[in-house]
């Protein structure tokens, strides 16, 4: 699929193979708060004192305040103000200004990335749209400036790794467990600079939300792209979100893969990444009993309806353990609204959880800092040392069910042993 994607977008107009360097035509560029500080400063540094002198196509650039809405400090408020000025000056039409949420979820919510397109963004989790068969990937800030000016960028055509997922989907999300299992078994760079292609009998059973979790985490296993096939679920998701035609990418039956990995989820336990690396993975049974003071569900990996729904289902009629801060951040306003309409927020708040404004804050040291010695279990993207403030805090990554179970128990537990209904 990656060879097809980059052949289709090759400015030279000829087919390319893995390893080739191409200069590619870009279909869409996402930029968040980086659009002001770094990109603007780079433009000044490049000899454009007023900032970017132009953009290549105001219809293909999507600006979302993302990390910085609402403004968390005076500096950010001032930066947001500067951003509004430049967006207006450059005539960029798609600007989500007064709307909190994670850029990647909003790109999906509003149908801004379509199957078969090549979409870039100056954020590592831009790779998320692979869930919708979009060739999307994170680029550097200088790359972003180049794309904004010319609508083109160089790429090395990646090798592909085929991940075959088999088995039956249970009635709770398992995407996080899948990617943690893969990172633990094959290494946190098993897809280093490659294109991951998901296939197998589980794929049609995976919701778009679960696919976005797996695609977002493509970057945590080193990937350039993390692609799903476009199927009926994809078309259903895009219906009403975009009216532009699209041409999905399909893998050839005889496509060549650098490696092939098979996982049957029926045999997979709940998985946890221990501090402080994504690949430091163990089955949950190896870490049960570890006391926690904070539990979190959110981010571009796990801030979607199904992630919050499973927490609400577990918490209904139960209470968050005394002394545990259970923080839930929907990925976008659209997701938040869906949760509200389904009554989930009421159950969560009654049980003692906190629901905070959509955005990236819970995945960073912005919302819910940890102090020395504190332990947090979280369904977010990363567990690096200092990710939530103190270098002496410990962060465990897990799926939303394992996180909700820990929030109720006050310690890491195997959800299946606590909740007989599963």
Partner 1 sequence: MSFDLNQVIRGRVWKFGDSVDTDAINPYYLYPTMEELKKHTMESYRPEFPKEVKPGDILVAGRNFGCGSSRPGLVLREVGIAAVVVESVSRLFLRNNISRAMPIFMAPGVSGIVKDGETLEVDYAQGLVRNPATGASVALRKFPPLIEKIFQSGGLLEFARQRYLAETAR
What residues make contact with partner 1 under the rule CB under 8 A? Answer: 21, 23, 42, 45-47, 53, 75, 122-124, 138-143, 145-146, 149-150, 154, 156, 188-189, 192-193, 219-220, 222, 224, 276-279, 364-366, 382, 384-387, 389, 391
Which helix or strand (DSSP H or E) is residue 160 part of? strand 160-166
* Nearest approach, Cβ of residue 19 and partner 1 (Å): 9
Tokens for 199, please give them: 């296939």
Give whichever of 32 and 176 is closer to partner 1, judged by the CB atom. 32
Give whichever of 272 and 401 is closer to partner 1, judged by the CB atom. 272
What are phi and psi for residue 258, nearest 5 degrees? -65, -40
* Nearest approach, Cβ of residue 84 and partner 1 (Å): 21
- In whole angstroms, what is the distance from residue 26 CA to residue 126 CA? 14
Strand residue runs (E) in 280-383:
281-283, 294-297, 325-328, 354-355, 375-379
* Nearest approach, Cβ of residue 193 and partner 1 (Å): 4
Q: How far apart are the first and last CA of the chain?
A: 37
Give whichever of 143 and 166 is closer to partner 1, judged by the CB atom. 143
* Nearest approach, Cβ of residue 364 and partner 1 (Å): 5
Say if CB 304 and CB 400 are below 8 A apart.
Answer: no
Neighbours of 334 (CB within 10 A): 19
Give whichever of 79 and 106 is closer to partner 1, judged by the CB atom. 79
Closest CA to 211 of 130, 108, 131: 131
Give whichever of 45 and 371 is closer to partner 1, judged by the CB atom. 45
* Nearest approach, Cβ of residue 156 and partner 1 (Å): 7
Q: Find residue 325's DSSP bridge partners.
A: 294
Give whichever of 269 and 365 is closer to partner 1, judged by the CB atom. 365
Query: What are the residue ranges of helices labelled H in 9-60?
Result: 37-45
- Residue at token pair 């929030």: 407
* Nearest approach, Cβ of residue 47 and partner 1 (Å): 5
Rounded CA Rg of the chain: 21
What are phi and psi for residue 234, nearest 5 degrees? -65, -50
What are phi and psi for residue 390, nearest 5 degrees? -55, 135
Give whichever of 47 and 253 is closer to partner 1, judged by the CB atom. 47
* Nearest approach, Cβ of residue 232 and partner 1 (Å): 32
Alpha-carbon distance values, 358 to 81, 205, 250 (Å): 20, 27, 34
* Nearest approach, Cβ of residue 377 and partner 1 (Å): 18
* Nearest approach, Cβ of residue 88 and partner 1 (Å): 21
Give whichever of 165 and 180 is closer to partner 1, judged by the CB atom. 180
Give whichever of 21 and 77 is closer to partner 1, judged by the CB atom. 21
Dihedral angle of Cα 382, 385, 391, 395, to the nearest 10 degrees:
50
Which helix or strand (DSSP H or E) is residue 21 part of? strand 21-25
* Nearest approach, Cβ of residue 403 and partner 1 (Å): 21
- In whole angstroms, what is the distance from residue 376 CA to residue 383 CA? 10
- In whole angstroms, what is the distance from residue 157 CA to residue 4 CA? 10
Give whichever of 331 and 370 is closer to partner 1, judged by the CB atom. 370
Give whichever of 45 and 81 is closer to partner 1, judged by the CB atom. 45
* Nearest approach, Cβ of residue 35 and partner 1 (Å): 13
Cis peptide bond N-terminal to 70, omega within 30: yes
Neighbours of 240 (CB within 10 A): 8
Say if CB 176 and CB 399 are below 8 A apart.
Answer: yes
């Amino acid at each position: 699929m990656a060879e097809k994607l980059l052949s289709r977008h090759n400015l030279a107009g000829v087919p390319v193979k893995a390893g080739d360097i191409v200069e590619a035509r870009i279909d869409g560029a996402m930029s968040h708060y980086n659009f002001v500080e770094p990109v603007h400063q780079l433009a000044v540094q490049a000899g454009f004192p007023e900032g970017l002198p132009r953009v290549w196509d105001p219809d293909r650039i999507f600006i979302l305040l993302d990390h910085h809405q609402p403004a968390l400090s005076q500096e950010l408020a001032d930066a947001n103000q500067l951003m509004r000025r430049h967006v207006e000056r450059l005539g960029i039409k798609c600007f989500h200004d007064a709307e909190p949420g994670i850029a990647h979820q909003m790109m999906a919510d509003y149908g801004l990335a379509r199957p078969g397109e090549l979409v870039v963004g100056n954020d590592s989790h831009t790779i998320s749209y692979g869930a919708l068969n979009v060739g999307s990937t994170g680029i550097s800030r200088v790359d972003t400036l180049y794309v904004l000016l010319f609508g083109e960028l160089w790429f090395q055509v990646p090798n592909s790794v085929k991940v075959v997922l088999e088995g039956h989907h249970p009635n709770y999300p398992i995407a996080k467990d899948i990617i943690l299992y893969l990172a633990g078994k094959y290494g946190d760079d098993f897809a280093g600079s490659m294109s991951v292609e998901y296939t197998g009998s589980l794929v049609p059973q995976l919701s778009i939300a679960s696919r976005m979790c797996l695609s977002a985490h493509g970057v945590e296993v080193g990937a350039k792209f993390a692609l799903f096939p476009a199927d009926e679920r994809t078309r259903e998701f895009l219906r009403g979100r975009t009216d532009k035609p699209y041409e999905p990418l399909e893998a050839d039956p005889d496509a060549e893969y650098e490696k092939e990995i098979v996982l049957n989820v029926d045999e997979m336990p709940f998985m946890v990444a221990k501090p402080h690396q994504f690949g430091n993975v163990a089955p949950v049974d190896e870490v049960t009993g570890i006391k926690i003071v904070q539990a979190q569900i959110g981010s571009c990996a796990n801030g979607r309806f199904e992630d919050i729904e499973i927490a609400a289902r577990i918490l209904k009629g139960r209470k968050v353990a005394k002394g545990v801060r259970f923080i839930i951040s929907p990925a976008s306003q659209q997701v938040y609204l869906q949760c509200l309409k389904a009554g989930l927020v009421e159950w969560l708040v009654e049980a003692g959880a906190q629901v905070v404004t959509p955005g990236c804050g819970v995945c960073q040291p912005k919302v819910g800092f940890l102090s020395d010695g504190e332990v947090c279990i979280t369904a977010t993207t990363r567990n690096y040392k200092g990710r939530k403030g103190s270098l002496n805090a410990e962060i465990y990554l897990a799926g939303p069910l394992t996180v909700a179970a820990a929030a109720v128990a006050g310690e890491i537990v195997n959800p299946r042993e606590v909740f007989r209904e599963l």
